[in-house]
Structure 1
Amino acid sequence: MAGLVVVFDFDKTIIDCDSDNWVVEELGINNLFTQLLHTLPWNSLMDRMMTELHNRGKTIEDIEECLKKVPLHPSIASSIESAHAFGCDLRVVSDANVCFIETILKHHGILDCFSEINTNPSLIDEQGRLRILPYHDFNTSSHGCKICPPNMCKGLVMEKIRASVSADGKKQLVYVGDGAPDFCAGLKLEGGDVLMPRKDFPICDLISTNPLLTKAKIHEWSDWEELGANILSTVNRSFIRDESSSNVKTDQLVPVDCKYQNGSISATAHGALHLPVSPPH
């Protein structure tokens, strides 16, 4: 088993949209969502939206069918499958939730490629309603990070991942993400690690504002063809130490855009409300 661990954010990284926004828009509760947007933390708001869907007669099956419509670019799917086939340890760190992530990954046939999904818990209660809970119970105590939302600090999650993979003898971490909390996760990477930020997204703004804080090598990406090439190049360098094998030739592709990425609620994606320029330490 190789020593490479690749950790992915989910929304706007594996998929080109926010899965929460997708469900809100597709199932017609955008108006209520917008009304309540600034009254609740995002995670609590999504739990409230699941109650609204239940009250309108929507079932967990309706939600799952909606999620199965989320597009997945073939380049990211194939790079995930290839990295898994090479023996890489693939994981997810996301502020979405278990139900949404597992439904989408399973539908596209890549759920089994991931050894671990770190995200907000979800469950179906006695009434058949989907409940979305916080990863970190901020009602009892704060995680203390000024970059991340109250329900999940990705930096703390990455500290746990590093501790676990170090115990297993694995050496190199790769982190792929787009948002401000992904910057927090990237701060936990070391000199031999790789950070893959999505170009022109909040993570790149924070890296530029705080250039001395990131120790890892930085490989930016703009679309999924480029991201796939970056991932496979890193895998090649890690496993066979042959620089020539990393010269992946790709034709430019337009990524599959999420239908609602530029919609009325997308500007308030999870991390976008928390954009300080100082690290959480």
Structure 2
Amino acid sequence: MTGNNTVVVFDFDKTIIDLDSDNWVLDELGFTDLFNQLLPTMPWNSLMDRMMNELHSQGKTIGDIVEVLKRAPIHPRIVPAIKAAHALGCDLRIVSDANLFFIETIVKHLGVSDCFSEINTNPSYVDEQGKLRIFPYHDFHSSSHGCDRCPPNMCKGLIIEKMQSSLAEEGNKKKKFIYLGDGCGDFCPSLKLKHGDYVMPRKNYPVWDLICKNRIQIKAEIHEWSDGEDLECVLLCLINTISMEEENKKLFSVDCKFETINPVVAHDALPQALSVPH
């Protein structure tokens, strides 16, 4: 199937949807001021769990949160881009510092749940009281993930390395990655990409600035995008490029039966009338 050697990894906030899902929920439900007041006192991920408790204690239900998430703004070309990449046989994945409940609610609402083979994000679940609990992807209370570029709860670079190792163990060393993101946390995974991979930073967003300042550290080809229309165009073009490269490799593989012709012998063997005059 076309494109089936391509792994496309999407960030979620400000990449698939056009804003930060955490901020969106808190803003829409009227908890922005409390969030901003508490933010200096604890890590973002821990604070989101605290805020879900505040929402619950003030009568906000899971249904209220779901309705807000369904209204999250998204560019009209994002869903077609996801569906097209999936139809071309790409392995689509999400790596996000949001949380599983928010992401699953939105992708289900958009009708693209089946397009993604995995979602790597902060775990969350609704407890017996009907309250959303949010936990860190990496339990930084017991140990550090060891990356000073990334927030304590998640290093996306380590997640990409885990994907690369897993594919290599399965014998899929030829898989090429396309990574799309916007934020500071998307710089570390961009550094883990290899020659032949592609990184798609959102132009004029934090990851774009970091990549521009550290281009020499990036092995992957860099292709920026500005909005959903750009994302669709660039992504499908890259998938097509990878597919064509694979087809060309098949055409010129070791199975090719043509003999190599010595250019000197070939020239000497030409009829005199066709020889290049000296």
Fold match by TM threshold 0.5: yes
Per-residue displacement from partner, 1:132-161 (whole Å, max 9, x unpaired)? 000000000011111111000000011111
2:13 match: 11
Structure 2: how far apart are the matches of 1:23 and 1:38? 19
1:211 match: 215
2:134 match: 132
Alignment of 1:167-206 (within 5 A): 167-168=169-170, 169=172, 170-206=174-210
SS at match of 1:187: helix
Q: Match for 2:90 among 70, 88, 94? A: 88
Structure 2: how far apart are the matches of 1:94 and 1:212? 25
Structure 2: how far apart are the matches of 1:87 and 1:164? 19
Q: Match for 2:233 among 219, 229, 238? A: 229
Structure 2: how far apart are the matches of 1:195 and 1:31? 36
Aligned partners of 1:67 and 1:104 also within 8 Å? yes
Aligned partners of 2:75 and 2:227 also within 8 Å? no
SS at match of 1:183: helix
Structure 2: how far apart are the matches of 1:134 and 1:18? 17
Measured after TM superposition, the shift of residue 166 of structure 1 is: 2.5
Structure 2: how far apart are the matches of 1:107 and 1:151? 27
Structure 1: how far apart are the matches of 2:73 and 2:205? 20
User: What TM-score do you get using the length of structure 2 for normalisation?
Assistant: 0.85
Q: Match for 1:77 among 76, 79, 93? A: 79
Aligned partners of 1:72 and 1:108 also within 8 Å? no
Letter in 2 for 1:102: E
SS at match of 1:37: helix
Structure 2: how far apart are the matches of 1:13 and 1:221? 10
2:145 match: 143
Higher relative contact order (CA 8 A, sep 6+): 1
Measured after TM superposition, the shift of residue 126 of structure 1 is: 2.0
Structure 1: how far apart are the matches of 2:151 and 2:245? 39
Question: Gaps (5+ residues) in structure 1?
Answer: 243-281
Structure 2: how far apart are the matches of 1:191 and 1:180? 22
1:67 match: 69
Per-residue displacement from partner, 1:200-259 (whole Å, max 9, x unpaired)? 1111111122221110000011111111101100111122349xxxxxxxxxxxxxxxxx
Determine which structure has the larger helix proportion and give its number: 2
Aligned partners of 1:195 and 1:218 also within 8 Å? yes
Structure 2: how far apart are the matches of 1:200 and 1:41? 26
Letter in 1 for 2:56: H
SS at match of 1:53: helix
User: What TM-score do you get using the length of structure 1 for normalisation?
Assistant: 0.84
Measured after TM superposition, the shift of residue 75 of structure 1 is: 1.0
Aligned partners of 2:104 and 2:113 also within 8 Å? yes
Alignment of 1:78-117 (within 5 A): 78-117=80-119
Measured after TM superposition, the shift of residue 189 of structure 1 is: 0.2
Aligned partners of 1:9 and 1:93 also within 8 Å? yes
TM-aligned CA distance change 1:9 to 1:76, over 3 Å: same
2:168 match: 166
2:254 match: none
Question: Comparing 186-195 with 157-166, which one deviates more in the overlay?
Answer: 157-166
Letter in 2 for 1:201: Y
Structure 1: how far apart are the matches of 2:167 and 2:182? 23
Aligned partners of 1:80 and 1:113 also within 8 Å? yes
Question: Gaps (5+ residues) in structure 2?
Answer: 247-278
Moved over 3 A (4+): none
